[in-house]
Amino acid sequence: MKRLILLFTNSSSRSRLYWKTRSFFIPQQRWLTRVIPRTYCDKVELVPRILFAILVDFVEKEKGLSQLDADWAKELENGHVSQEYVDDVNLTYSELRDAYNYIKTQRDELQSAADSSYPETLPGVHGIFEEPTFDAAGNKSICMRSCETLYGMSFAEAYAEHNRLEALMEKRDQEAMMTIVRHVKVLWT
């Protein structure tokens, strides 16, 4: 009972209790909780979502790329910073800008191109399964049609463009994620 009384009389304990309770019901990183789906999501899909959301929030909400517009002439003249530092800062933020541009525009274009690159079925072919057959015992057997029957070409030819676009998107995603992780120490304002 004495501990409970101390909890409500000590202002720092009251403040700590208030902020823990408030943070539980009203998360401080609400933008991040909006990115995480409420259904099951594999880690391989979740990690890019979170990293991309971190960079987008840094650029859009915190105006994190404002360093690119900075005028370093006065600091260079006074000797407060070196030219190497300025070049490093500009390179870092330009890499983050390139990753941001990929995430916001180019990735959506690649995704829509990959989605529309699936091969078209031949006219007169309805469905991917052949007509069911029955054996002597009366068991039903259903087979998938071959790519030659569905598309008039082999699997490798039919899905070549789609596989190329998915591989390109995977490569660009990896580059963007590596850029974010490599420059994680500057993602604060």
pTM comes to 0.75
pLDDT mean over 149-162: 86
β-pair type (133-134, 140-141)? antiparallel
- For the stretch 91-150, pLDDT in tens is 999 999 999 999 999 999 999 999 998 888 778 777 777 777 788 888 888 887 777 888
Chain mean pLDDT for the chain: 86
pLDDT value at residue 2: 56
Instruction: Report how far residue 50's alpha carbon sits from residue 43's, in angstroms, rounded to the nearest whole number.
Output: 10
